[in-house]
Amino acid sequence: MTPLTVRWHQSIREIPEEHWQALVGEQAIPFYRWGWLDALERSRSIVPEQGWQPLHLALWRDDIPVAVAPLYLKGHSYGEFVFDQSFARLAADLGMRYYPKLLGMSPVSPVLGYRFHVRDGEDGGQLTAELLRAIDAFCAQHRILSCNFLYVDSEWQPLAEAVGCAAWLNQQSLWRRGGACSFDDYLRGFNANQRRNIKRERKAVQKAGLSITALTGDQLDLQLMQQMHAFYEQHCARWGAWGSKYLEEAFFEALADAYRDQVVLFSAHRGDPREPVAMSMCVQDGQRLWGRYWGSKEEIDCLHFEVCYYAPIEWAIRRGIDSFDPGAGGSHKRRRGFVAKPCASLHRWYEPQMDALIRAWLPHVNRLTLQEIEAINADLPFKADAPELSL
């Protein structure tokens, strides 16, 4: 058999789309498909000047890639939503340079599902080990302190841990449809007090004269996606220097064509849905829904809850979608049907002292994270199946 060749790619366009898609498969979530990652690069949302250097690693056999690791060389920790500033401080205390670091995730998308993608019929464990050996050699050559894989796929995680990756647990929020067939079924899961609160919050939006319309598929066009970018930009600007604006208008424009069947816009309007007062953007794949961005022209009580949570949940129930990840942050999500769940990131540190210190600390902090999740879910105002908690 022809030996494997290691190649590093500074743009996803160096790997033909048909080869990338053959590796990630038809069931890949939208955020790891070639078109999504290419739109980030092509729109100049993810570029070296902004601290994101695409550096995808592939194993090739002849002219066919048999495995790929989506990777980026990062000059900061922004846009990750797994906060490793304590690691950066430790590196500084030890007299080490923390950046640049090697990072595996879908940029600025805190969505569960990162993995190395392996062609069908190949040995996933073996190729995971091969890719990690190439990563280790690259980091040693370039004196990079760490490699980090965020929001990892739970099925891939054991393969990476078996060859030395260390797991660090964090939290995410998740709503599950369960047996709900209507929004009333969703409401019945809450205690009486929270049912009243949700009904009151939805009525506040109605009293403001607003209706909510979901727009997707052929209803989407360039103009709507440009409006969504304007809402996103406006919302980020509200927070000034902390606004975390990463995406350029050209990224949203690219989605108007290639991803119109996966993007869902929830328009809050007083007349024409194409003239929104507020709008949120979600992404779906038929089984899962992800909340991404929102913005509003007016300050209206409870509008954020309606456009970002209640309307997407109602839409998801009607279409039989199983789960809804509303995005990072926000304890207010807990009172609106979202349970806390553990999510793992995997790490490799290439300086022995730092590696030993963090690995000694991780079991303790992971136990505390699981205890915190258990306490949060014990206080939820609705019935929910407890997520699996394990180290």
Same domain membership, residue 81 and residue 13: yes
Q: Which class for 379: exposed (0-12), middle (13-18), buried (19 or more C-beta within 10 A)?
A: exposed
Q: Which helix (H) or strand (E) holds 199?
A: helix 192-207
In a domain, 387, yes or no: no
Instruction: Identify whether the C-beta of residue 9 lies closer than 8 Å to the C-beta of residue 58.
Output: yes
Residue 107's closest CA among 169, 164, 44, 159?
44
β strands within 165-284, DSSP E: 166-176, 211-216, 263-269, 278-284
One domain for residues 245 and 298: yes
389 inside domain:
no
Same structural domain, 109 and 41:
yes
Phi, psi angle pair for 348, to nearest 5°: -135, 130
| Residue 335 belongs to a domain | no
In a domain, 334, yes or no: no
**Residue 240 sits in the same domain as residue 210:** yes
| CA angle centred on 93, ends 107 and 349, rounded to 5° | 45
Whether residue 126 lies inside any domain: the answer is: yes
Q: Using CA atoms, how far apart are residues 113 and 108, in angstroms rounded to an integer? A: 14
The one-letter amino acid at 99: Y
The answer to whether position 388 is within a domain reads no
Is the Cβ–Cβ distance between 309 and 197 less than 8 Å?
no
Task: Verify that 115 and 246 share a domain, yes or no.
Answer: no
| pLDDT beneath 50, residues of the chain | none
Q: Please give the pLDDT value at position 351.
A: 97
Name the residue among 245, 275, 69 with its Cα closest to residue 152: 69
AA identity, residue 270: R
Global pTM reads 0.94
pLDDT single digits (tens) 192-218: 999 999 999 999 999 999 999 999 999
385 assigned to some structural domain: no
> In total, how many domains does the chain have?
2
How many angstroms separate the CA atoms of 232 and 224, rounded? Answer: 12
Q: Domain check: are 81 and 209 in the same one?
A: no
Domain holding 188: CATH number? 3.40.630.30
Give percent above pLDDT 70 in the chain. Answer: 96
Boundaries of domain holding 102? 5-172+341-378
Asked whether residue 347 falls in the same domain as residue 238, the answer is: no
What pLDDT, on the 0 to 100 scale, is given for residue 389?
A: 55
Contact (CB, 8 A) for 266 and 214? yes
Q: What is the pLDDT of residue 284?
A: 97
Q: Which residues face 101 on adjacent strands? A: 74
Query: Do 119 and 9 share a structural domain?
Result: yes
Residue among 311, 279, 313 nearest 294 (CA): 279
In this structure, are 106 and 218 located in the same domain? no
Q: Which residues contact 381 (CB under 8 A, 6 or more apart)?
A: 190, 191, 193, 194, 335
Q: DSSP labels for 306-360?
A: IIIIIHHHHHHHHTT--EEE--S--GGGGGGT-EEEEEEEEEEE-SHHHHHHHHH
Residue 224 lies in a domain: yes
pLDDT at position 244 is: 73
Instruction: Please tell me whether residues 256 and 309 are part of one structural domain.
Output: yes
**In terms of domains, do 302 and 186 share one?**
yes
| 296 lies in the same domain as 355 | no
